[in-house]
């Protein structure tokens, strides 16, 4: 565990009683086995300074899930929004990223942009390192539409390696989602414009995490989607001919849709 980070939690003081606030009785319990002594507060929660990485990640997922509770994605199935940040974090952890602050920032990356959460709240609960990465992944609230998109391209080279890694995974999941099921109302031009713009961002961020960059490149070269009965290449400039496996993936989805079924089960990307 990164001890420098656990010390950052001392500033919290709001939810987890500090040692001085506890009754003078000895620690009430031990959590887990083989992890040494872990002190619990009166609600049976670990003190933050005793919190291991797994507990910290679960607390982060719980926080993000509460913040995104009422939100849905833009796809036909109206997927719960929280699926997106969890998938982004999973893309990172399953491709070798072990820095728990990056995995936490991935889980939290849309909380400030898309919910009333503040950066100060993120810093209070998760420390300044996580807050800094989340801040870097948050669009300037004074910009929207094309302005915000242009700013993502402009600012990408100046972001930290950690923020660039989150950006790569974020874009990868959005692109995979569009390929699988474009947001309701998106036509060919909007899908292709999104792919063209996303590639500008991910080409800049690519060196921060080559495994994801490689995967993105393959996506740009092979991804098709179906709109109004036509198979369209998602990235019009980079995409090659329609591959058989891509066609049968789309046909399978159309078959389910025609039968009025939900195209679930969701594909598992890793």
Task: Indicate which residues carry an active-site annotation.
Answer: 113-114
Stretch that binds ligand G4P, among 26-34, 53-61, 125-133, 171-179 (CB under 6 A): 171-179
Q: Distance (Å, rounded) from C-alpha 221 to C-alpha 160?
A: 27
Token reading at 2: 């990164």
Residue of 96, 145, 157, 265 interacting with ligand G4P (CB under 6 A): 145
- Binding flag, residue 177, ligand G4P (CB under 6 A): yes
Q: Minimum distance between the CB of residue 241 and ligand G4P, rounded to whole angstroms?
A: 24
Question: Of the candidates 21, 60, 63, 56, which has an alpha carbon nearest to the alpha carbon of residue 41?
Answer: 21
- Binding flag, residue 60, ligand G4P (CB under 6 A): no
The residue (of 45 and 74) whose beta carbon lies closer to ligand G4P is 74
Question: Of the candidates 111, 106, 104, which has an alpha carbon nearest to the alpha carbon of residue 69?
Answer: 111
| Beta-bridge mates of residue 227 | 230
Q: Angle 81-75-91 (CA atoms, 0-180°, nearest 5)?
A: 55
Q: Distance (Å, rounded) from C-alpha 90 to C-alpha 83?
A: 10
Q: Distance (Å, rounded) from C-alpha 237 to C-alpha 230?
A: 18
CB 46 within 8 A of CB 39: yes
Q: Minimum distance between the CB of residue 134 and ligand G4P, rounded to whole angstroms?
A: 12
Binding characters for ligand G4P, 95-134, by CB under 6 A (x = yes): ---------------x--x---------------------
Q: Minimum distance between the CB of residue 73 and ligand G4P, rounded to whole angstroms?
A: 3
The residue (of 9 and 235) whose beta carbon lies closer to ligand G4P is 235
Q: Minimum distance between the CB of residue 11 and ligand G4P, rounded to whole angstroms?
A: 28
Left if phi > 0, otherwise alpha if psi is -120 to 50, otherwise beta: which for 88?
alpha
State the residue for tokens 């996580």: 130
Q: How many residues bind ligand G4P (CB under 6 A)?
A: 12
Residue of 163, 178, 204, 239 interacting with ligand G4P (CB under 6 A): 178
- Binding flag, residue 194, ligand G4P (CB under 6 A): yes
- SS3 label, residue 40: strand
- Binding flag, residue 73, ligand G4P (CB under 6 A): yes
Q: Which residues bind ligand G4P (CB under 6 A)?
A: 73-75, 110, 113, 145, 170, 174, 177-178, 183, 194
């Amino acid at each position: 565990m990164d001890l420098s980070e656990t010390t950052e939690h001392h500033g919290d003081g709001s939810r987890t009683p500090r040692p001085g606030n506890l009754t003078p009785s000895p620690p009430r319990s031990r959590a887990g086995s083989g992890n040494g002594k872990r002190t619990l507060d009166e609600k049976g929660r670990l003190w933050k300074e005793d919190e291991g990485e797994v507990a910290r990640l679960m607390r982060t997922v719980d926080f993000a899930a509460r913040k995104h509770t009422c939100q849905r994605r833009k796809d036909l199935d109206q997927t719960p929004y929280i699926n997106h940040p969890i998938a982004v974090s999973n893309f990172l952890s399953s491709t070798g990223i072990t820095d728990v602050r990056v995995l936490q920032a991935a889980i939290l990356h849309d909380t400030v942009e898309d919910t009333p959460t503040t950066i100060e709240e993120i810093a209070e609960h998760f420390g300044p390192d996580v807050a800094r990465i989340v801040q870097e992944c948050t669009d300037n609230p004074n910009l929207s539409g094309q302005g915000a998109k242009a700013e993502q391209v402009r600012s990408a080279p100046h972001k930290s390696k950690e923020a660039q890694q989150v950006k790569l995974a974020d874009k990868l999941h959005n692109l995979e989602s569009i390929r699988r099921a474009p947001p309701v109302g998106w036509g060919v031009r909007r899908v292709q414009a999104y792919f063209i713009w996303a590639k500008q961002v991910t080409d800049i961020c690519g060196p921060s995490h080559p495994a994801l960059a490689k995967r993105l490149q393959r996506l740009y070269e092979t991804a098709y989607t179906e709109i109004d009965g036509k198979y369209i290449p998602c990235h019009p400039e980079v995409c090659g001919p329609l591959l058989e496996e891509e066609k049968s993936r789309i046909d399978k989805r159309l078959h389910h849709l025609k039968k009025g079924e939900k195209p679930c089960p969701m594909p598992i990307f890793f």
